[in-house]
């Protein structure tokens, strides 16, 4: 075989390998974007590169696999739904207190489902694996809750926090399904 022929075969093999690698990378990116939703873009922005972000999201998936996440019984779901209704009713007289209670209730629900609840940032990372599409609500609610601890949140912001907490609450309560006692 001539040198030119060997070179053509090697170049062809390199091109095929590069195309396969690109296809695999694109498939992984599409899967992560679909799974994590807006959290994918947030992670890319925080990580500074797609590659670093995708590695981070992959690490989140591995950590999540090790967690003992469990569904709620119908009795537990109903109890949480009733507690949520009480928090909503509280909003009329005590908006800031209701927002703090909504935060505590969401954290309690996460704990009952099996999510670690020691640190907000870790909570968000753990939730992102199964609840990436509603996680942006948690970020927004947490920000408003933080503002309210120093009485810097407006009533309208507090109302927004309740809506945001409700979106994640419902998703956690039903594990992402479209029906359940938390919906209304």
Return phi, psi of residue 94, to 5°: -140, 75
What is the C-alpha separation between 56 and 162, in angstroms, rounded?
30
Q: Are 105 and 161 in contact (CB under 8 A)?
A: no
The mean per-residue pLDDT over the stretch 121-125 comes to: 95
pLDDT in tens, 66-120: 999 999 999 999 999 999 999 999 999 999 999 999 999 999 999 999 999 999 9
User: Residue 116: which H helix or E strand, with range?
Assistant: none
Q: Sorting pLDDT into bands at 50, 70 and 90, what band is 176?
A: low
Question: Who contacts 19 (Cβ-Cβ below 8 Å, separation ≥6)?
Answer: none
Structure tokens at 146: 């933080």
Please provide the distance, in angstroms rounded to a whole number, between the alpha carbons at the two ends of the chain.
74
pLDDT at 53 > cutoff 50: yes
pLDDT at 179 > cutoff 60: no
| Phi-psi domain of 172 (left: phi exceeds 0; alpha: psi -120 through 50; beta: other) | alpha
Question: Tell me, what's the pLDDT at 99?
Answer: 98
Nearest to 169 by CA among 66, 90, 97, 99: 99
Q: Are 78 and 86 in contact (CB under 8 A)?
A: no
Q: Sorting pLDDT into bands at 50, 70 and 90, what band is 150?
A: very high
CB-facing half-sphere around the CA of 5: CA atoms within 13 A: 2
The mean per-residue pLDDT over the stretch 54-66 comes to: 96
Q: Are 96 and 158 in contact (CB under 8 A)?
A: yes
Q: Sorting pLDDT into bands at 50, 70 and 90, what band is 178?
A: very low
Q: Sorting pLDDT into bands at 50, 70 and 90, what band is 182?
A: very low
Structure tokens at 105: 């209730």
Per the document, the length of the chain is 184
pLDDT at 177 > cutoff 70: no
Question: Tell me, what's the pLDDT at 155?
Answer: 96
Q: Sorting pLDDT into bands at 50, 70 and 90, what band is 62?
A: very high
Question: Tell me, what's the pLDDT at 108?
Answer: 97
């Amino acid at each position: 075989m001539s040198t030119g022929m060997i070179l053509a075969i090697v170049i062809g093999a390199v091109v095929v390998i590069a195309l396969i690698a690109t296809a695999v990378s694109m498939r992984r990116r599409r899967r992560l974007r679909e799974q994590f939703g807006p959290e994918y873009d947030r992670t890319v922005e925080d990580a500074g590169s797609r590659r670093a972000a995708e590695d981070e999201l992959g690490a989140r998936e591995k950590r999540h696999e090790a967690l003992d996440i469990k569904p709620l019984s119908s009795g537990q779901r109903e109890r949480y739904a009733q507690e949520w209704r009480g928090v909503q009713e509280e909003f009329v007289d005590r908006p800031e207190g209701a927002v703090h209670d909504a935060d505590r209730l969401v954290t309690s629900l996460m704990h009952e489902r099996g999510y670690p609840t020691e640190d907000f940032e870790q909570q968000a990372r753990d939730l992102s694996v199964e609840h990436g599409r509603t996680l942006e609500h948690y970020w927004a609610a947490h920000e408003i809750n933080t503002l309210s601890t120093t009485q810097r949140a407006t009533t309208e912001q507090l109302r927004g926090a309740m809506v945001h907490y409700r979106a994640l609450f419902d998703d956690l309560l039903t594990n992402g399904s479209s029906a359940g006692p938390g919906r209304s």
